[in-house]
Structures are given as structure tokens and as C-alpha cells.
Amino acid sequence: MATNRIRTRPPRAGTRGASSPVPVTDDASGFVEDAAHYPGGHAPAVAFPRDEAECAALVRGAARVLPVGAQSSLTGGATPMGELVLSSSRMNAVEEMADTCITVPPGVTLTALRETLDAAGRSYPPAPTFEGATVGGVVSTNAAGAATFKYGTTRDWVRRLTVVLACGEVLDIERGQVRASDGRFVIETSRGAVVAPAPTYRLPRVPKRSAGYHAAPDLDLIDLFVGSEGTLGVVTSVTLDILPRRPEVCVVLIVLDDEEQAAALTARLRDVSMDTRRRHDPAGLDVIAIEYLDRRSLELVRAAGPGRRARVSIPETAGAVLLLQIELPPGTTAGQVHEQIGFADPARPPGGPIVHLCRLLEVEGLLDRAELAGPGDTTRAAELLAFREAVPEAVNRQVAIAKHTVDGTIEKTAADMIVPFAKLSDGVRLFRTAFESRGLDHAVWGHLSDANLHPNVLPRSADDVRAGKEAILACGREVIRLGGCPLAEHGVGRNPVKQSLLQLLHGAAGIEQMRAVKRALDPENKLAPGVLFPVAARGEASA
């Protein structure tokens, strides 16, 4: 039976000697900047705890702490501003695995998680696209990815958390055991009871939200920490639900004329796939992810050279590309897939998911523009998926070059917004108008199956960065009006524009509710200060 009360415990005794902070030298310079290239990063030291006890000791002893994982943050949330950097990189050994769940420390990368599960014939399908991210990082931001269309976000798969609080004591939280009652949680510590309010604002009804502290009726305490970006506690252990069997997946690349055609095909694929799931039809088409690259994205990959795009060749006349992931029953072989392709003739009876796909593409006049990498063809599937990843890599590289050669104030300027799928065309037009009207070079890509897109500025000057921020704020207002969320899967971090979007979404009253949660659990503002919302000015209540 659920209660709103939970008791902390002291950290478990460590099995190794205490970790020593590592001064920020040339060898540790990577810790002062994350993937957002957020400016001004600095830190007095970097510490590498190896277990819960060392982590708790560091939190207790430090005035300010910034927990970081892979530092793949696109929001500046993993850029230190004078805090002790607490790296999870040495907390990286799988703790336990069962048929339906796995327990890991925060420093385990998604690559290591996938490899462990692959070896056991299991899978964790909601992992975000970037496999270099850590489990602690994806929990911190409630990260989502390509397969959200079927499998939801990180929050939906977190079963248990172990969290070191700002006071150095530890919470073991299991889903369903602690829920808000009378609008609050009561956390009993060795120093007395802490009363943490449960936020009451309403969140947009879209599948992805990484927009501050979660809110829901009868809020589960575990969900207050998922997506809190390290501001409420330091995660030291995560238990994730997993699939007991690994479905087979094939990857399909489709070349299209323009984004209107891409949106129309995506709507058709979504409808067919949702019908397959409703009917529990193992022979039906089940598309779990649809990725989108616009014309400018394709140009960037070509300009980057053959290194990342491998053997993927896209005609220069292409206006867009879709990259599909299609789930097949476990055990489906490449031979069976090719056999289905051979039966794609409409005159023949249905014979499986790939038959349905081929017939759909034939009707749309796109069958000869598609390439399929079936089960077992892991090399080709990896090349197709790498083609998608080459786009943000090219943008990040261009931003970094501009920052170091043109103007040191240049930074990554991008949006991460989601609208209800029915409003997808409105959202795309909104982005194009906002960026083109300001004369900004930009590329748009993202998870079209969720109507979650990432318009990115390709800055040529500091003026482009300023204009890009204006465009993003303008888009955010309209996305909220459309019933969407201007902060879908990357979080908020230190980025002033994203912090402004957070305030646009929740209003001043909503931000104050978040600050009240922060004050209750971290009264000294020790954990990740300046992340989510600015540090309170002197004379104001601390955040």
C-alpha cells in the first residue's frame, strides 16, 4: 500500500578507499564544456566516486556539486560553473539482471547496457539515439528517443532509484510505494522530517516532456527525481524494466521529395502501426520509430565527407529522408524478410510485416526509393543509423569551429519541441517561418513519429545566435498555444532560452512551485545550482 512517507538511510560502507578530487588540468579540460558548448565553464576539481559511500561523502563535504555523466548535454546542464564536478564514469559495473529488469549504477553507458542485454537476448527499447549517454544522464533528463512512439520515455521504464540527497543521506525509492498525499511528501531524515510539496501545474498532453519537475495526480516520488537534472539528488543506482526477449528490427531508409511528403507518409505509417498494435497482429506492420532529415541536413552530411555517412548515398535532388525502424517477431531471419519482399506483389496474399510495408510504399510510388537492412545485416543497419547521427555531429562541429574561429560567444542554438501529431504541419511551418524570416541558416531533423523536431541554427556570427534565440522563443510561445511542449527530451540545463521556455510553459507560479521543491530537498542550493532556473539573487529566497 502506498504512503507519502519515506525514511532515508545512511550510505552503505564503501569497499574501497576514498576517491580523491582531481584538479582541473589540461588532462581534465573536457569537464568544463559539454556538447552544448555553453560558455564560461570552470571547476575547482573533478571527483570520481566509485560507490554510494564515496558519492555521499563528496556531497556532504562540498559546498556546490554538479553531477555529470557523458557530458553529452545539449543544454549546458553538464557544464560546471565553479562547482565540484562529480563524474559517474567509475560507477559503471552492472549490478544485477533478471528476466524483466536490470540494475546498474549511473555511469553505465547505453552502449554497455545494450551489449549486456544483447548477450542475454533482452532489450531496453526506449534508449535515446546517442548511445554514448549514461544511464544516470538519461534518468536525469527523462530522456526519450526514436522509439518513444511505441515505448515511451525513460520515466516509463524506471522501476527503482537509489538517490543521495543534499544532506548526504540516501533514499531507496521503488515505483508505486511512495505517492503524494495532501499535496506533499514527507521524508524522514536523521535531522528530522522534510516536507516536499508535490507540483500541481498541468503538463501538455504529448508523449515527450523534459520540462522541469514532473507533476501528476497522486505523484509517485520516483517521478519527482526522474527528469530533475541532478538538482534534487545524485542517482547512484537505477533499476530499469527490460523486455525479456529481444525483438528483431529492420531499418529502412526512404528518399522523399519534400517535407510535406514526409509528413503524409509518416501519418500513414503511424496509423497502420497503431492498428497493428490494437489488433495484436504479429504479421502486421509495426513501425516503432520514424526519423526525419530535411534537405539542409542532407547537405551537411555530404559536406562532412564520407567518414560518417559510410556507404549511404542520397541523391542531391532529395528534399527529405525518413529512416524507419520496424519491429519484427523475435527470431525473424533475414531470409524470411527477403522472402516477404518477394511476395510484395499486390496479387499475392499477405505474408508478413515487410509485405505490408512494400505494398504501402508501392501505393505511394516510393518502393524504388527505399532501402532495407534486415535482421542479421547489422553492418548496413549501423551505417543507415550512423547517417542520421552524422547530422547533429556536423552541426555541433560547425558550432564549435565558429566559436573558436569567429566569436567566442557563439554557442549551440537549437530547439527541442514537440506538438500533438495532428499539429505536425503547423509546427513545421512555424519553425520555417521563424528561422527564414530572420535570415538564419538552419537544419531541421528529429523524431517525426512523435512530431518532435530539432531546428538548429548554423551560426555564422554572434548576431545569428541572438536572432536564433529570438526565433526559438517565438516558436515556444506558439508550440504551447498548439498544445505542445517547447522542452521535449533534452532538458533545460543552464541555457537561458530554455529556462525562459520553462517559465513560458509553467508561468511564474509554476516556477515557484519548482523552487519550493528545491528548497525543501536542497535548502543550501548545493546540487547543480543554476540548472533549471537561475540562482536566486542575493536577498531573495534561495532556489
C-alpha cell at 444: 531541421
Is 50 exceeded by the pLDDT of residue 395?
Answer: yes
Residue 519 lies in a domain: yes
Residue 445 lies in a domain: yes
| Claim to verify: residue 262 and residue 143 sit in the same structural domain | no
Residue 93 lies in a domain: yes
| Claim to verify: residue 232 and residue 83 sit in the same structural domain | yes
Which three-class secondary structure state does DSSP give residue 48?
coil
Is 70 exceeded by the pLDDT of residue 300?
Answer: yes
Residue 395 lies in a domain: no
Residue with cell 560507477: 91
Is 90 exceeded by the pLDDT of residue 524?
Answer: yes
For the residues 63-68, what does the mean pLDDT come to?
96
In 3D, which of 463, 428, 185 has the Cα closest to residue 320? Answer: 428
Structure confidence at residue 259 (pLDDT): 95
For the residues 216-222, what does the mean pLDDT come to?
96
| Number of compact structural domains in the chain | 3
- Per-residue confidence at 538, pLDDT binned at 50, 70, 90? very low
Structure confidence at residue 338 (pLDDT): 67
CATH code of the domain covering residue 348: 3.30.70.2190
Is 50 exceeded by the pLDDT of residue 372?
Answer: yes
Beta strands in 22-123 (DSSP E): 22-23, 45-47, 65-68, 84-87, 96-97, 101-104
Question: Which residues, at least 6 apart from 317, have a Cβ–Cβ distance to it below 8 Å?
Answer: none
Q: Which of 166-170, 264-268, 399-403, 514-518 has the lowest mean pLDDT?
A: 399-403
CATH code of the domain covering residue 510: 3.30.465.10
| Claim to verify: residue 456 and residue 532 sit in the same structural domain | no
Is 70 exceeded by the pLDDT of residue 220?
Answer: yes
Residue 401 lies in a domain: no
Structure confidence at residue 22 (pLDDT): 34
pLDDT in tens, 136-184: 999 999 999 899 999 999 999 999 999 999 999 999 999 999 999 999 9
Average pLDDT, the chain: 91
Which of 490, 514, 530 terminates a domain? The answer is 490
Residue 396 lies in a domain: no
Sign of CA dihedral 66, 219, 452, 367: positive
Which of 328, 358, 388 terminates a domain? The answer is 388
Which of 323, 358, 388 terminates a domain? The answer is 388
Compute the distance between CA of residue 445 and CA of residue 458 in angstroms, rounded to an integer.
13
Residue 393 lies in a domain: no
Residue 394 lies in a domain: no
Structure confidence at residue 92 (pLDDT): 94
Q: CA 396 → CA 431, 456, 539, distances in Å?
A: 20, 10, 39
| Claim to verify: residue 309 and residue 330 sit in the same structural domain | yes
Structure confidence at residue 13 (pLDDT): 80
Structure confidence at residue 143 (pLDDT): 94
| Claim to verify: residue 79 and residue 204 sit in the same structural domain | yes
Compute the distance between CA of residue 422 and CA of residue 42 in angstroms, rounded to an integer.
44
Is 80 exceeded by the pLDDT of residue 348?
Answer: no
* Cβ–Cβ under 8 Å, residues 411 and 469: no
Q: In the chain, what is the straight-line distance between the N-terminal and C-terminal CA atoms, in Å?
A: 33
Structure confidence at residue 541 (pLDDT): 43
| Claim to verify: residue 221 and residue 258 sit in the same structural domain | no
CATH code of the domain covering residue 465: 3.30.70.2740
pLDDT in tens, 73-106: 889 999 999 999 999 999 999 999 999 999 999 9
Strand (E) or helix (H) holding 249? strand 248-256
Compute the distance between CA of residue 50 and CA of residue 510 in angstroms, rounded to an integer.
37
| Claim to verify: residue 453 and residue 356 sit in the same structural domain | no
Angle of helix 378-405 versus helix 295-303 axis, rounded to 10? 80
- Per-residue confidence at 339, pLDDT binned at 50, 70, 90? low
- Give 6's strand partners: 187
- Per-residue confidence at 16, pLDDT binned at 50, 70, 90? low
Domain hosting residue 214, numbered range = 1-245+495-543
Is 50 exceeded by the pLDDT of residue 518?
Answer: yes
pLDDT in tens, 316-328: 999 999 999 999 9
| Claim to verify: residue 63 and residue 180 sit in the same structural domain | yes
Structure confidence at residue 26 (pLDDT): 36
| Claim to verify: residue 461 and residue 518 sit in the same structural domain | no
Q: Which residue has the higher pLDDT, 492 or 396?
A: 492
| Claim to verify: residue 421 and residue 509 sit in the same structural domain | no
Is 70 exceeded by the pLDDT of residue 29?
Answer: yes
- Per-residue confidence at 309, pLDDT binned at 50, 70, 90? low
| Claim to verify: residue 421 and residue 537 sit in the same structural domain | no
- Per-residue confidence at 407, pLDDT binned at 50, 70, 90? very high
Based on its alpha-carbon atoms, the radius of gyration of the chain, rounded to whole angstroms, reads 23
Structure confidence at residue 25 (pLDDT): 38
| Claim to verify: residue 447 and residue 509 sit in the same structural domain | no
Sheet holding 45-47, edge to edge: 22-23, 45-47, 84-87, 65-68
Q: Which residue has the higher pLDDT, 541 or 397?
A: 397
Structure confidence at residue 310 (pLDDT): 55
